[in-house]
Structure 1
Amino acid sequence: MSQSNNIPLGIALMVATTFVFAVQDGLSQHLAGEYNVLMVVMIRYWFFAAFVIAIARRNPGGMRAAAHTRQPLLQTLRGVLLAAEICVMVAAFTILGLVESHAVFTCYPLLVAALSGPVLGERVGWRRWAAIGVGFIGVLIILQPGMSVFDPAAVIPLLSATMFAVYGLLTRYVARRDSTATSFFWTGVTGAIAMTFAGVWFWEPMAATDWMFMGCLCVTGVTGHWLLIRCYEVAEASAVQPFAYLQLVFAALIGISFFGETIRSNVAIGVGLIVAAGLFTFWRERQKAAAH
């Protein structure tokens, strides 16, 4: 499909995407607080895999074309890594809440930039390294590792961010030989298989009300991915990507409104530094791409 560049529509779709994903995170926090994380993520992945398969069947060549890859091991690693990352992040929601988990997780674009050199062989200039350094100062301000009140659990979303950054780099790497449709198919199917093997052992009865929440979780997951696909179809990624930071804002609003969370001053300051550094890093990548 040829891509248009309707930037206002693309921005609107990205804002909608971040809101839907924030709602998904709130539902995940509620359900994982009542049931095993692996079971919750497993059911979510079953629905996601069905969505991925439905999309593949509608594309030219059907499922055979979508499943065809020259890099099955890397694609499998990507899918399993993302499923594991989601489990870690949902666990962070139940331990730390949405606000602090997302505050730390926001640093993942900086991790992508820092690791793109050794992993993908991309050149990272001194300006981006400086921005990465500023971003990680923000992370340290949030974590307060030298304070007596430091909670080791705060490292959990940092682990999640690192896993997601590696997943993003692997996605860039496999994109050199596989299509987006193929990567999307392998993400959903391998993740569902991995989560089934892990989660089926932790099955437990779910209350009728929570099945309603689970249905909403599955629908928000599919809706969010559909909106994101449409967003990148109608507008260039460079124009809409900065608005992805709004997920932190929406998640914080949900955490405060429904879970009684608060925003500590050090978290607000740290997030400000991370977002500023992330936007600068993204701008430098855009400038570099335009120069070529």
Structure 2
Amino acid sequence: MKEQNIPLGIWLMVVTTFIFAMQDGLSRHLAGEYNAMMVVMVRYWFFAAFVITIASRQAGGLRNAAKSGMPWVQAFRAALLVVEINVMVVGFVFLGLVESHAVFACYPLLVAALSGPVLGEKVGWRRWTAIAVGFVGVIIILQPSGGVFSPYAVIPLLSALMFALYGLLTRYVARADMAATSFFYTGTVGMVVATAIGVWFWEPMTAPDWGWMAILCVTGAAGHYTLIRVYEVAEASAVQPFAYLQLVFASALGIVVFGESIRLNVALGVALIVLAGLFTLWRARQVAAT
């Protein structure tokens, strides 16, 4: 078994969450000026080139990377991620980074709740209790009595549901395929789907915004690379809690750059969601150890 380097894994996860938060900020800026579907499409062109380059340098090349025991499931999960990213970027435009990420933070709880029907895993009463507490946090954030709640509030919630299903399907295909195969399908099939959606919304961009787009593409590739490195050097259960730092970084960016604010109900709701999520991660690790 490969030796674990937990401290390095944690630092890499911190770097990864920071990169992804900056990527979210760039996406919000560009999607505020241009159609979100087009922005995601260009991102995927660069991402696919990155994935193909990585795969071509591995043993067996592209043929080996494309070999899958579940090609249709791989294709579906790749397409699902494209739709999820489009939905989340639209959420950034309508709700902002702070509130979008506040609601999206519930996705680990959705993963726990859906792991039974999708993967056949047993979810005990402790984790169901944590899931319920987390969704109380979501309700506090949404404030149906008249706070954040609007039709737009459903956008990041739908995104979280799709991302949770994507994560579960990624675990499902891991039973038959290597991580490199899943990564290859994510980039290549994702690029085809993103182009099929985004090509209808093409509009010319200014030279400065092409610069921002280039930075967005580079950060996307860099974030995926550091995330791969995270799971190469440390087990997922040890570093996953630090993934919540993306919420912190994105919120800080929303406040400093976009002039957003954090209301008390959002802070309280996020606290409940994060605590419930950390408990489900801890509980899953305890169960795995027994």
TM bracket (short chain): over 0.9
**Helix, strand or coil at the partner of 1:128:** helix
For 2:169 and 2:147, how far apart are their aligned partners in 1?
Answer: 38
Instruction: Tell me which residue corresponds to 2:4.
Output: 5
Q: Which residue of structure 2 aligns with residue 178 of structure 1?
A: 177
SS in 1 for 2:51: helix
Percent identity of the aligned residues?
Answer: 71
Matched residues in 1 for 2:154 and 2:148: separation?
Answer: 14
Q: Distance in 1 between matches of 2:43 and 2:2?
A: 30
1:88–1:157: 8 Å Cα contact kept in structure 2?
A: yes
Correspondence for 2:259: 260
The answer to whether the 8 A contact 2:142-2:148 is kept is no
Alpha-carbon shift at residue 290 of structure 1 (Å):
0.9
Range with bigger deviation, 208-217 or 195-204: 195-204
Q: Which residue of 2 aligns with 1:222?
A: 221
1:259 counterpart SS class: coil
Residue 94 of structure 1 deviates from its aligned partner by 0.3
TM-score, reference length from structure 2: 0.98
Helix, strand or coil for the counterpart of 2:257?
helix
C-alpha deviation, 1:150, in angstroms? 2.9
Q: Residue 231 of structure 1 corresponds to which residue in structure 2? A: 230
Inter-CA distance 149–126: structure 2 relative to 1 (3 Å threshold): closer
Instruction: Look up the match of 1:287.
Output: 286
Q: 1:271 Cα shift?
A: 0.2
Q: Equivalent residue for 1:68?
A: 67
Whole-angstrom CA distance in 2 between matches of 1:58 and 1:128: 42
Contact 2:87 2:159 in 1 (8 A): yes
Q: Give the Å deviation of 1:117.
A: 0.6
The Cα of 1:151 is off from its aligned counterpart by 1.5
Task: Give the AA of the match of 2:215.
Answer: C
Residue 169 of structure 1 aligns with which residue? 168
Determine if the alignment matches structure 1 residue 46 to structure 2 residue 81. Answer: no
How far apart are residue 147 of structure 1 and its match? Answer: 2.9
TM-score (norm 1): 0.98
Which residues in structure 2 correspond to 1:200-215 (within 5 Å)? 200-215=199-214
Query: 1:271 aligns to what?
Result: 270
Cα distance, 1:146 vs structure 2? 3.2
Determine helix, strand or coil for the equivalent of 1:241: helix
The answer (yes or no) to whether the contact 1:67–1:182 under 8 Å persists in 2 is yes
Whether the 8 Å CA contact 1:33–1:94 is kept in 2: the answer is yes
Mapped to 2, the partners of 1:196 and 1:151 lie a distance apart of 30
- Counterpart check, 1:151 vs 2:150: yes
Are the structure 2 counterparts of residues 34 and 149 from structure 1 closer, same or farther at C-alpha, using a change threshold of 3 Å? closer
Could you tell which deviates more after superposition, 81-90 or 169-178? 169-178
Gaps of 5+ in 2: none
What letter corresponds to residue 185 of structure 1 in structure 2?
Answer: F
In the other structure, the counterpart of 2:114 is 115
Kindly provide the CA deviation profile for residues 126-184 of structure 1, in whole angstroms up to 9, marking residues without a partner as x.
Answer: 00000000000000000112337732211110000000011111111111111111011
Q: Is the 8 A contact 1:3 1:235 kept in 2?
A: no
Give the deviation of 1:7 after TM superposition.
Answer: 1.1
Give the number of equivalent residue pairs: 290
What CA RMSD, in Å, does the superposition of the two structures yield over aligned residues?
Answer: 1.0
* Alpha-carbon offset, residue 59 of structure 1: 1.2
| CA-CA distance at 1:262 after TM superposition | 0.1
CA–CA distance in 1 between the matches of 2:130 and 2:199? 43
- CA shift in 2, pair 1:36/1:17, >3 Å: same
In structure 2, what is the Cα distance between the partners aligned to 1:149 and 1:82? 26
Give the conservation status (yes or no) of the 8 Å contact 2:237–2:285. Answer: yes
The one-letter code sitting in structure 1 at the alignment partner of 2:277 is G
Residues 138 and 269, structure 1, Cα contact 8 Å, conserved in 2: yes
Work out the CA distance in 1 between the residues paired with 2:201 and 2:6.
45
The answer (yes or no) to whether the contact 2:109–2:134 under 8 Å persists in 1 is yes
